[in-house]
A and B are shown apart, each in its own frame.
Chain A
């Protein structure tokens, strides 16, 4: 029955609503639905051709009903496809706003570290290349927006800081960072007592964990 494949896609969207991680892109399902739309369109064309050049929808009710049904099916498939993609696009945008780095997509060794750190969703491979493209493009636009106000970090943490300096533990090797108190080398499992403002970015990216 037309529209059944679309229902599967919508159920996947429903599931995504309650998940933190964006699941992999359903390429096969999407392609199948697009094929179904093409088939429907072909059927409509056949029906119209059968009536010949003098066809007028108001005259033959039965054929116009059949064409109407096919048309509604096409619209339904379109709606499901659009809703699926919009949901995913919105999710990607939220990811960018929470400081997700587009460069860390697909790297497996990062994903275990990432889940352990913050409540950020872990990196999921299985995204469509166009989605990664979208992520990068949106990230660029956001960076441009942030660049207008250098005093304030628009994607920073929404919680006000409690102390000026905090204890942190390093989770991944991240090289060296320069602070006003000197150079700090970040090696795994080392702890530092640093100023909050300096390491804010690194916490968001997941290299460092704040100790309570």
Chain B
């Protein structure tokens, strides 16, 4: 129930995935180009569709005549090999925000659709490694890595930003509590 109204989930649904249409569909040219609504989509056309559309089309169209469904989906840009290699090499150096504002939530949805174990392991390790760095930045306002700080903070995706804020609040509250007057 919570996922329906959750703003971040709605934003995650807006992420785009490359798909291939398995059948020609008339009158839906607007999916491909902004203006032309009169032309149709040819069979085998490659288009980028948002997750809310792509997921339903991929799952919903399956029948005896068309066992592959209306479309087939392929891995979106944030999860291609280049990114995954960079992540397994050094998680802290990859700009997750440039890949996708909702990287982790997007990964969750993609993994739920496809169940790619390699991706799962990489994303989990990335999360753990980056969470440690985020935590460090949140607690030390004058860390040794001062010059990298604002750069790194600019590469955080939405989930990590929330983590960062939570860590900052926590350390502030702790300081306030320990120095509170009786």
Q: A residues engaging B (CB < 8 A)?
A: 1-3, 7, 10-11, 13-14, 17, 47, 58, 61-63, 65-66, 68-69, 72-73, 76, 79-80, 82-83, 86-87
**Given A17-B7, A68-B70, A72-B56, 12 new contacts (CB under 8 A):** A2-B30, A14-B8, A47-B27, A61-B23, A61-B61, A63-B26, A68-B57, A69-B25, A69-B31, A72-B57, A76-B52, A82-B5
Q: What chain B residues lie within 8 Å of A72 (beta carbons)?
A: 52-53, 56-57
* B18 proximal to A (CB < 8 A): no
State which of A58, A63, A66, A86 has its C-beta within 8 Å of the C-beta of B63. A58
B25 touches A10 (CB 8 A): no
Residue B24 interfacial (CB < 8 Å): yes
Q: Does B11 contact A (CB under 8 A)?
A: yes
Contacts of A66 in B (CB 8 A): 25-28
Write the chain A residue with the least CB distance to B101. Answer: A14
- Taking a contact as CB atoms under 8 Å apart, the answer to whether B23 and A73 are in contact is no
A1 x B66 contact (CB < 8 A): no
Q: What are 14 A-B pairs at a CB distance below 8 A?
A: A10-B11, A14-B7, A61-B61, A61-B65, A62-B23, A63-B26, A65-B70, A66-B25, A68-B57, A69-B57, A72-B57, A73-B53, A76-B13, A82-B5
Q: Does the CB pair A65–B25 fall under 8 Å? A: yes
- Chain A residues within 8 Å of B11, by CB: 10-11, 14
Give the shortest distance, in Å, between A158 (CB) and chain B (any CB).
Answer: 15
Judging by beta carbons under 8 Å apart, are A62 and B31 in contact?
no
Contact B5 A83 (CB under 8 A): yes
Task: Write the nearest CB–CB distance from B7 to chain A, whole angstroms.
Answer: 5
A79-B27 Cα distance, complex, nearest whole Å: 25
Q: Which chain B residue lies CB-closest to A86?
A: B5
Complex A-B, nearest 5 residue pairs according to Cβ-Cβ distance, in ascending order: A83-B5, A65-B25, A72-B56, A13-B7, A10-B10
Partner of B7, one of A3, A73, A83: A83
A80 touches B23 (CB 8 A): no
Q: Nearest-CB distance from B100 to chain A (Å)?
A: 15
Hey, which chain B residues are within 8 Å of A87, CB to CB? 5, 7
B23–A10 CB distance below 8 A: no
Instruction: Tell me whether B25 and A62 are in contact (CB under 8 A).
Output: yes
Question: For residue B61, which residue of chain A has the nearest CB?
Answer: A65
Please indicate the chain B residues that have their CB under 8 angstroms from the CB of A63 in the complex: 26
Least CB distance from A7 to B in Å reads: 6
**Contact A7:B4 (CB < 8 A) given known A66-B27, A68-B70, A76-B52:** no
| Cα of A47 to Cα of B40 in the assembled complex, Å | 14
**Complex Cα spacing A10 to B60, Å:** 25
Q: A60 CA to B59 CA in the complex, in Å?
A: 18
When the two chains form their complex, are residues B7 and A68 in contact, meaning their CB atoms are under 8 A apart?
no
Which residue on chain B has the smallest CB distance to residue A82?
Answer: B5
Q: How far is the CA of A66 from the CA of B5 in the complex (A)?
A: 26
B50 an interface residue at 8 Å Cβ cutoff? yes
Known interface pairs A68-B60, A72-B53, A73-B53; A79-B4 also in contact (CB < 8 Å): yes
B14 at the interface (CB under 8 A from A): yes
* B56 adjacent to A79 (CB under 8 Å): no
Contacts of A62 in B (CB 8 A): 23-26
Say whether B34 faces chain A, with CB atoms less than 8 Å apart: yes
Q: Which residues of chain A are within 8 angstroms of B63 by Cβ–Cβ distance?
A: 58, 61
Determine the chain A residues whose CB is within 8 A of the CB of B10 once the complex forms.
10, 79-80, 83
- A-contact 0/1 string along B1-25, CB 8 Å cutoff: 0001111101101100000000111
The CA of A7 and the CA of B63, in the complex, are separated in Å by 32
Q: Which residues of B contact A69 (CB under 8 A)?
A: 25, 28, 31, 53, 57
Bound Cα distance A69, B11 (Å):
19
